[in-house]
Amino acid sequence: MQALVDPRFKVRKAALVALDQMDGSPLQSGQVASLLRAPDNDVRAAAVWVASHHPEWADVVLRYLDERLRDPAATAREQDALRNTLVAFSGNAGAQELVAQLLSDARLGEPQMLFLLDTIDGSTAKQFPDTWREPLAQLLRRPSPAVQMRTVELIRRRALTGFDDQLQALSRDAAAPDQLRASALGVLVMGNPRLARDQFAFLLSRLTPNSDAVLRQTAARVIGRSAPDRDELLQIARTHLGQADPLTLSTVLECFGTSRDEAVGEAVVTVLRRSPAALTTLGEDRLKRLLTGYPEKVRQDSEPLFQQLRDAQRERIDRLRRLEPLLTAGGDVGRGRRIFFGQKVACSSCHTIGAEGGHVGPDLTGVGAIRSSHDLLEAVVFPSASFVPGYEIYLVDVGNDRLSGVIRSQSRDALVLVTGPHGEVRIPRSQIKSMQRSNVSLMPDGFDEALTRTELTDLLAFLQAEKTGPQNAAAR
Report helix angle 76-88 to 41-51, nearest 10. 10
Q: At what angle do helices 453-465 and 333-340 cross, to 10 degrees?
A: 100
pTM above threshold 0.85: no
User: What is the Cα 325 distance to its own chain's centre?
Assistant: 34
Identity of the residue numbered 215: L
Of 265, 112, 115, 154, the residue nearest 166 (C-alpha): 154
Q: How buried is 338 (Cβ within 10 angstroms: 0-12 exposed, 13-18 middle, 19+ buried)?
A: middle
Cα-flanking dihedrals φ and ψ of residue 360, to 5°?
A: -75, -50
Which of 11, 65, 59, 56 shows the shortest CA–CA distance to 37? 65
Question: In 347-401, at which residue ranges do the beta strands (DSSP E only) sit?
Answer: 352-353, 356-357, 393-397
**Closest by Cα among 197, 138, 136, 208 to 171:** 197
Q: Given this model, what pLDDT does residue 228 score?
A: 95
Weakly modelled stretches of the chain, pLDDT under 70:
1, 74-78, 81, 124-125, 246-247, 277-278, 280-281, 385, 389, 400, 411-412, 422, 439, 444-446, 469-476
Taking phi over 0 as left and psi of -120 to 50 as alpha, with beta for the rest, 174 belongs to alpha
Question: What integer pLDDT is reported at residue 34 of this predicted model?
Answer: 80
CA neighbours closer than 13 Å in the CB half-sphere of residue 161: 5
Q: What pLDDT sits at residue 446?
A: 66
CA 475 – CA 211 distance, rounded (Å): 34
> DSSP code of 185?
H
Identify the pLDDT of residue 469.
56
Q: What is the rounded end-to-end Cα distance, in angstroms, of the chain?
A: 44
User: Which pLDDT does position 412 carry in this prediction?
Assistant: 65
For residues 221 and 214, is the Cβ–Cβ distance under 8 A?
A: no
Contact (Cβ atoms closer than 8 angstroms) between residue 331 and residue 460: yes
Q: How many residues are recorded in the chain?
A: 476
Query: What is the set of domains in the chain, with CATH numbers?
Result: 1-132 (1.25.10.10), 330-383+445-473 (1.10.760.10), 393-438 (2.30.30)
> In the Cβ-directed half-sphere of 445, how many Cα atoms lie within 13 Å?
21
Asked whether the CA dihedral 316, 318, 319, 324 is positive or negative, the reply is: positive
Q: Strand order in 423-428's β-sheet? A: 423-428, 414-420, 402-410, 393-397, 434-438
Q: Which pLDDT score, from 0 to 100, does residue 17 have?
A: 82
CB 83 within 8 A of CB 49: no
Residue 430: exposure state from Cβ atoms within 10 A (0-12, 13-18, ≥19): exposed
Query: Which ranges in 90-132 belong to alpha helices (H)?
Result: 93-103, 110-121
Residues 6 or more apart from 317 whose CB is under 8 A from it? none
Instruction: Look at the alpha carbons of 445, 450, 452, 456 in this order and tell me if their dihedral is positive or negative.
Output: negative
Q: Is 133 helix (H, G, I), strand (E, B) or coil?
A: helix
Contacts 24+ apart (CB under 8 A), 470-474: 470/363, 470/365, 470/366, 473/353, 473/354, 473/355, 473/365, 473/366, 474/354, 474/355
